[in-house]
Amino acid sequence: MKAFTVTKYSPNGLEAADIPTPAFGPHDVLVDVRAASINPLDKMVRNGEFKQLLKYKPPFVLGHDLAGVVTQVGADVENFSIGDEVYSRPRDLRIGAFAETIAIDADDVAHKPTSLSFEEAAAVPLVALAAWQALVDVADVRAGQRVLVHAGAGGLGSTVTQVAKHLGAHVATTAHGKDADKVRALGADEVIDYTSTDFASVLSGYDVVLDSLGLASLEKSMTVLRPGGLAISVVGPPDPAFATQLGQPLLKPVLAFMSRKIRRRAKKLGVRYSFLFMRASCAQLETLAQLYDNGTIRPVLDRTFPFADTIEAMAFVEQGKANSKVVVTRGTVA
Ligand SMILES: NC(=O)c1ccc[n+]([C@@H]2O[C@H](COP(=O)([O-])OP(=O)(O)OC[C@H]3O[C@@H](n4cnc5c(N)ncnc54)[C@H](OP(=O)(O)O)[C@@H]3O)[C@@H](O)[C@H]2O)c1
C-alpha cells in the first residue's frame, strides 16, 4: 500500500513509500483511510521533538487523524462490522493515518458522524478530543463560567470555543482581527484582536484559560484568572501528572523539574495549572459524533490536498498558511 513514512527524525524525514498492508490483532479493526488531517503534532513527531517520550522507531507511518471504512474486524471486536464508516485518533505509538490502510485498536475508533463527509470527519478527532478532555475532564466547565480560549481561529481553538459554548460558558478568544467574524460565528462572546490588544489588559476574573500559544502567553493568562481559576496548557511545560498518563512514573521528577517555574507562579497567583496531552477515546468520539450530527459543533476546514500531496499539505500547514484544518483526501475510492 502507499503511505508516508518518517524515515529519519528530520524536517525532511517524511517520504512516500510502498509498504505492506499492516497486520491487525484480535482487538483491532483494519480501516481503508479515505481522508486524514494534518496536526502540528505531525511535524513535532517527524522532527523528533517527542522522541524521548514517544519512542517511535523510524521508519513509521505518520498521521494522527483519519476517517475511513472498516475492511477487516479482529476476532474479539464486537461493535464494528465490515463496511462501517468510522473516524479515529489512534493512540500514541499506533498512529499511521497517512496511508491507504491502518490497523487501529477498536477502543480508539468510533462511528463517523453521519452528517459529515470523510474529509470533515478526518478533521476533527484530535482537536475535538482535546477540547472535550480540557473542558469536561480537566476543568469541569459549568454553565455561566468564563472561559478564555487562545487562538480561536485555529484548528484547536475553533473547536474549544464551540464546546465551551455547548457547556454554557461565556467565551472570550484571541484571534487576528481578520478572523473576528469567523470566531464570533463559532460562538465567541468576546474577541480580542491579538495584533492590537493585550488580552490581559481587557480580561479579568476568568474561571478557565486554554493556552496553546506558549509560555509567555500562559504566564500572562494566569493573571486574568479569578483566585482558584485554572490554566490549562496544551503546549507545556508538561506537569508530573503527564508521567502517569505516559505510563512512565519514573519521569515524574523530570517533569516536576520542567514545570517547577510555572507551578510556582500559579501558586503565587493563587491559581491552578494543568498540562493536557489529549488521549484516544472511542467513548468520547461517540459523544462528540452526536454533537456534530445535531449541529451543536461543526468542523472548520481550510482546504484539502490529494493524498499523493501529503508532504505539500504538511508544508502548507508548517508555513503558517492554513486557517484551521487541512485535510488530505483519497477522493472516491471504488
Ligand atoms: N496537547 C494536546 O493535546 C494538543 C492538542 C491539539 C493541539 N495542540 C497544540 O496546540 C497548538 C495549536 O494547534 P492547532 O491545531 O490549533 O494549530 P493551528 O490550526 O495552526 O492554529 C494556530 C492558530 O494560532 C493563531 N495564533 C498565532 N499567534 C497567535 C496569537 N498571538 N494570539 C492568538 N492566536 C494566535 C493562528 O492564527 P493566525 O492565522 O492569525 O496566525 C492560528 O489560527 C499546537 O502547538 C498544537 O501542537 C496540543
Q: Find the 39 Cα to ligand 1 centroid distance in Å.
A: 10
Closest CA to 74 of 142, 125, 26, 122: 26
Check pLDDT > 80 for residue 101. Answer: yes
**pLDDT tier at 158, thresholds 50, 70, 90:** very high
What mean pLDDT value characterizes the chain? Answer: 97
CATH 3.40.50.720 fits 126-275, yes or no: yes
The angle formed by the CA atoms of residues 305, 308 and 314, to the nearest 5 degrees, is: 55
Find the mean pLDDT for residues 30-59. 96
Provide the 8-state DSSP code for 21.
Answer: P
Q: How far is the CA of 235 from the centre of ligand 1 (A)?
A: 10
Q: For the segment 250-283, what is each residue's pLDDT rounded down to a tens digit?
A: 999 999 999 999 999 999 999 999 999 999 999 9
| Cell triple for 286 | 461517540
Q: Which atom of ligand 1 is nearest to the CA of 174?
A: 33
Strands 109-111 and 170-175: unpaired
> Would the pLDDT of 6 be above 80?
yes
What are the distances in angstroms from CA 53 to CA 56, 166, 247, 255?
Answer: 9, 34, 10, 11
Would you kindly state where each structural domain of the chain is located, as residue ranges?
2-124+299-329, 126-275
Q: Could you tell me which residues are beta bridge partners of residue 257?
A: none
Ligand 1 pocket test: pick from 43, 150, 156, 259 the residue with the most ligand atoms within 8 Å of its Cβ: 156
Q: 333 pLDDT band (50/70/90 cuts)?
A: low
Domain at 2-124+299-329: CATH code: 3.90.180.10
pLDDT tens sequence across 210-237:
999 999 999 999 999 999 999 999 998 9
Report the 10 Å Cβ neighbour count for 119: 22
Q: Could you give the C-alpha distances from 189 to 19, 25, 132, 148, 261, in angstroms and in order?
A: 49, 47, 19, 10, 32
For ligand 1, atom 35: residue with the closest CA:
151
CA distance 326 to 68: 17
Q: What is the pLDDT of residues 103-142, one digit of tens each?
A: 999 999 999 999 999 999 999 999 999 999 999 999 999 9
Distance 195 CA to ligand 1 centre (A): 15
DSSP bridge pairs for 210: 149, 232
Nearest-angstrom CA–CA distance, 208 and 170: 10
For residue 127, give the ligand 1 atom closest to its CA: 6
